[in-house]
Amino acid sequence: AQSVTQLDSQVPVFEEAPVELRCNYSSSVSVYLFWYVQYPNQGLQLLLKYLSGSTLVKGINGFEAEFNKSQTSFHLRKPSVHISDTAEYFCAVTGSNFGNEKLTFGTGTRLTIIP
């Protein structure tokens, strides 16, 4: 079985400051990892994904994430946040055993940008 832990339910950050949203996973097989963003009253949108290859993954809106197998983590980072980054962020994992394990989502981290 696989699971995802997002330790921080809420993260307030001042505008133009850096941010890191933490994600740890548990799986008995190799994994594919995703970060999704949900703006108010909207569905989830893909920010970035790790399938294989380089452990540093760049996504949309200036976000990036680093896959760390030894620490079973996939933290999301942005060097300078904007008001428009206010949203909820979800980490998700699926086993790479043929990719047919259902996607497991974390409980989400609400990012609030303070002007």
Partner 1 sequence: DAGVIQSPRHEVTEMGQEVTLRCKPISGHNSLFWYRQTMMRGLELLIYFNNNVPIDDSGMPEDRFSAKMPNASFSTLKIQPSEPRDSAVYFCASSPGQLFNQPQHFGDGTRLSIL
Q: List residues near partner 1 by CB under 8 A.
A: 32, 34, 41-46, 49, 51, 90, 94, 96, 98-103, 105-108
Q: How far is the CB of 51 from partner 1 (least distance, A)?
A: 6
Which of 8/101 has CB closer to partner 1?
A: 101
Q: How far apart are the first and last CA of the chain?
A: 41
Please state, in angstroms and rounded to a whole number, the distance separating the CA atoms of residues 63 and 38.
14
Q: How far is the CB of 102 from partner 1 (least distance, A)?
A: 6
Buried b vs exposed e over 36-69: b needs ≥16 C-beta within 10 Å? Answer: bbeeeeeebeebbebeeeeeebebeeebbbbbee
Which of 26/107 has CB closer to partner 1?
A: 107
Which of 1/98 has CB closer to partner 1?
A: 98
Which of 52/115 has CB closer to partner 1?
A: 52
Q: How far is the CB of 16 from partner 1 (least distance, A)?
A: 29
Q: How far is the CB of 37 from partner 1 (least distance, A)?
A: 11
Cβ 4 vs Cβ 109: under 8 Å: no
Residues 20, 26, 32, 37, Cα dihedral to 10°: -40
